[in-house]
């Protein structure tokens, strides 16, 4: 949302302010690049205030994300489905990708799964977790044929049986038909 983007920009500015204040208070560095400060940090009220401002921004961002997760999971569960199927993703592998890591970490995928699970249990909805290696995107939802050469950039799933469908919609149909 706009609010999250605004807060992230503000966080960057506040962190730069803090870095400048710390740099101005640095006398020299040790051999291991650890700074030696002119005045101890516990005596510097400006740096403490800056640290508090940064902490409050992190808390605000965290609260916004957590609230969004609760709203989304509530909306999913309140539609009263008979079961919810969620795909097990390789989050550890996605975190190694420097382009994806920040976005994946911000999504709080484990927390979302945990909330869906306990809300399913509360409303007596069956929760199924699909296997990590289940080819939900590569399988044709009409004939069941697996397309091995599907790339991530291919957004349209085209099967030899004549099915033309959005890749994500095809995967969601396959997950809806998933059986243990």
User: pLDDT tens-digit profile of 1-55?
Assistant: 899 999 999 999 999 999 999 999 999 999 899 999 999 989 999 999 999 999 9
Count of structural domains within the chain: 3
User: No. of H helices and E strands in the chain?
Assistant: 6, 6
Mean pLDDT of 98-107: 89
In angstroms, rounded to a whole number, what is the distance separating the alpha carbons of residues 10 and 58? 11
27 and 89 assigned to the same domain: no
8 and 64 assigned to the same domain: yes
107 and 149 assigned to the same domain: no
Query: Which of 56, 72, 88 lies at the terminal end of a domain, its last residue?
Result: 72
Mean pLDDT of 154-158: 89
Query: Which token pair is 134?
Result: 């289940």
Query: Which token pair is 154?
Result: 């291919």
140 and 152 assigned to the same domain: yes
Report the share of the chain in percent with pLDDT over 90.
Answer: 64
pLDDT in tens, 50-101: 999 999 999 999 999 999 999 999 999 999 899 999 999 888 998 999 998 9
Angle subtended at Cα 176 by Cα 155 and Cα 146, rounded to the nearest 5 degrees: 50
In angstroms, rounded to a whole number, what is the distance separating the alpha carbons of residues 135 and 132? 8
Task: Assess contact for 85 and 43: CB atoms under 8 A.
Answer: no
pTM for the whole thing?
0.79
126 and 172 assigned to the same domain: no
Q: Which domain holds residue 43?
A: 1-72
């Amino acid at each position: 949302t706009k609010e999250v983007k605004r807060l992230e920009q503000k966080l960057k500015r506040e962190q730069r302010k803090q870095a400048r204040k710390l740099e101005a208070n640095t006398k020299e560095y040790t051999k291991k690049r650890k700074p030696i400060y002119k005045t101890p940090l516990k005596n510097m009220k400006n740096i403490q205030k800056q640290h508090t401002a940064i902490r409050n921004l992190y808390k605000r961002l965290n609260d916004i994300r957590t609230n969004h997760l609760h709203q989304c999971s509530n909306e999913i569960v309140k539609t009263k489905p008979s079961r919810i199927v969620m795909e097990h993703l390789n989050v550890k592998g996605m975190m190694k990708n420097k382009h994806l890591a920040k976005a994946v970490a911000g999504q709080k995928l484990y927390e979302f799964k945990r909330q869906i699970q306990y809300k399913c249990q509360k409303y007596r909805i069956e929760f199924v977790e699909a296997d990590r290696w289940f080819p939900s995107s590569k399988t044709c939802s009409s004939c069941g044929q697996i397309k091995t050469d599907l790339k991530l950039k291919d957004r349209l799933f085209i099967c030899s049986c004549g099915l033309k469908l959005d890749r994500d919609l095809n995967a969601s149909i396959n997950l809806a038909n998933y059986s243990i």
